[in-house]
Each structure stands twice: as structure tokens, then as C-alpha cells.
Amino acid sequence: MADDPQREDTRRSGATLRAASVSRAFDGVQALREVTLELHRKEIVGLIGPNGAGKSTLVNVLTGFDYPDAGTVELAGRCITRWSPHRRGRHGLARTFQHSRSFRELTVRENVEVAALGSGAGVREARRRADDLLERLSLTQYSSAPAGSLSHGDERRLGVARALATEPRFVLMDEPAAGLPEAEVPDFAAVVRSVRDEHGAGVLLIDHNMALVMEVCDRIQVLDHGATLAEGDPREIRANLDVAAAYLGDSAVHEDAS
């Protein structure tokens, strides 16, 4: 795969989130085996694999909700392996969760404002960020509604808005499209792209919706039993026989070859 000049610029500037040879075990079960992953700003990297492959464990290690047994996590060339999630957030690392972490009794607007305030923004700046993000993510009409009243798709958008309210350099999305009706997936794909294109952040996307992953990702990394099985752009991953047979189905190989 040819190098992207923009990605080379981000490497040189140190705008990189990196897990280096990370390993993690739980009760003797090896969840991660010397996994190395790099995420640069202004790119979307997909992280795929079956349940139990270690995807969420890797996200937890990257964001400080868990610590590796071996290996390091680096942000812009600085070791952050033992930093707390809050400290990482202050330095530009944000995430969404498989299950909603919104304050259901607060309004949609208040949820975004709280996220901005938590990142150090003042009240006026938090309001500005909330107004801007609600408009960008088509949530303005729900701004005064309790977050708990949102549909599943709009709740996912709110999760992205809360993450972006911290003005992150990197956003890690853990199964953001889970449970979304297929009809809403294209709109959500546009939301994911906007994080890269409009906000300039790097995105790590974990999702089982292969259509979404293949459509929006610049690169894809495949985990299998806690280790990296393959890396490449979407076309290379589709053409990889091991990946296609294990995760995408044989039809993916035939479709790509047709």
C-alpha cells in the first residue's frame, strides 16, 4: 500500500496514538498478545475480529480503563501507559462506549456541555461547543429533550457529540453502530467521516458492521485470539483469504474478484 503524504506528515509531527507490543491476560487467558497499533490524526482505522478477539481490551488499554501486562501506550511520542482516563482525556483522547454513558435525566444539550466542562472549557465555551456539535450532528431539534428519550441512533450521535465536545485529537469508537437499523447506517457513516474530515481527529472504529467498516476506513487491522492477523486497506483485507474465510464469509472474496 502506497504511503499517504498526509499520514507521513502526522507521523513526523508526532500526532500519533500508538500501542507498542501490548499484552494483557485475565485469569490465565491471554486477551492480547504483543499487539502493535498506530492511529494517526485525520485517518479512520478499523479494528475488527470475532467476539473475544481482544478489541475492547485494546481500547480499554489505549484509553486507561485497563493497563497492559507488557508493552506501552504512547500519545504524540510520550509514554502514557499508566495515565488515568481523565488525564488522557485532557491530552486529547476520547472514546465512546458500547453502552450509553449519557446522563439520561439531563437534556441533550446539557450532556454535551458537561463533557466540554469536564475537559476544562469555561461555561461560555461549553455552550458554544454544544450548539455547534448539536447542529453538526443533526441533534439541535432534541437539544431540550432528556437524553433518555432519544432513539437508539440519536443516542449514538449524542455519544459522538460528547466525545467531540472535549476537542480530542483521537476518538475511539467501540461498536458505535451496534443495534442501529440498516437504514440509519449510511447517515452514521457520514458522522464518522465528519470526525476525521471536519474535526481533524484520528478515529479508531470497532464494529461488527462490515459494510460500515469497509466504507469509511482508510486502514483496517484484524485481531484473532488477541494477536494481529492482518493489516491493510479495505481492498487488501477483503482479498485476504484468511480474513475473508474467518470474518467476512467466502462471498466477500468472490464479490471482490468479480
Grid cell in block for residue 22: 501490548
Count how many Cα atoms sit within 13 Å of the Cα of residue 188 in the half-sphere of its side chain. Answer: 27
The C-alpha angle with vertex 25 and arms to 248 and 63, in degrees rounded to 5, equals 75
Of 219, 169, 227, 178, nearest to 199 (Cα)?
169
Phi first, then psi, for residue 160 (nearest 5°) are: -70, -40
Residue-level pLDDT at 248: 53
Residue-level pLDDT at 253: 40
Of 208, 160, 148, nearest to 182 (Cα)?
208
Residue-level pLDDT at 247: 64
Neighbours of 69 (CB within 10 A): 13
pLDDT tens by residue, 42-85:
999 999 988 888 999 999 999 999 999 999 999 999 999 999 99
Instruction: Report how far apart, in Å, the C-alpha atoms of 103 and of each of 107, 112, 125, 194, 235 are.
Output: 8, 10, 20, 24, 40
Ranges of residues in the chain whose predicted pLDDT is under 50: 1-2, 7-8, 10-14, 250-258
Residue-level pLDDT at 123: 94
Beta bridge pairs of residue 228 = 223
Q: What is the 3-state secondary structure (H, E, C) of the chain?
A: CCCCHHHHHHHHHCCEEEEEEEEEEECCEEEEEEEEEEEECCCEEEEECCCCCCHHHHHHHHHCCCCCCEEEEEECCEECCCCCHHHHHHCCEEEECCCCCCCCCCEHHHHHHHHHHHCCCCHHHHHHHHHHHHHHCCCHHHCCCEHHHCCHHHHHHHHHHHHHCCCCCEEEEECCCCCCCHHHHHHHHHHHHHHHHCCCCEEEEECCCHHHHHHHCCEEEEEECCEEEEEECHHHHHHCHHHHHHHHCHHHHHHHHC
Residue-level pLDDT at 2: 44
Residue-level pLDDT at 252: 43
Q: Which residues contact 191 (CB under 8 A, 6 or more apart)?
A: 137, 157, 160
Residue-level pLDDT at 122: 93
Residue-level pLDDT at 153: 80
Residue-level pLDDT at 102: 80
